[in-house]
Structure 1
């Protein structure tokens, strides 16, 4: 009797999806980094437990507290949207 392998971690599954879509390695690294920051910002809550309010809170934090450029904020949003697709 074979046992099932443990489920892959969230960020590993994200990497798999990025590779299937043939995104560049740099995009993969950037998206994973933003998704990790999003999760850590919300005290390691699983993305399934979060929604639009948490996304807006994170993006607002980036703009107000970290003074990131609009293009950087858009990059973070693109990564988070990829996570939820």
Structure 2
């Protein structure tokens, strides 16, 4: 029970950090941390299949796509 509450609090804090961050690069890192904490929450709630999907999408694929997009648009804007 205490572990579940701790996981919920950490996910809520990470979500607030994602929303509060304005710059896209730090925001993608915060979103990656949020995805990682969300997968930990899913493991605590005994949903390992959902946790594995969240790790792939929320902690790896989405932040990587955001980083690639930001660097590509920044490089084009510099020319």
TM range (shorter): 0.3 to 0.5
Question: Which has more helix, going by share of residues?
Answer: 2
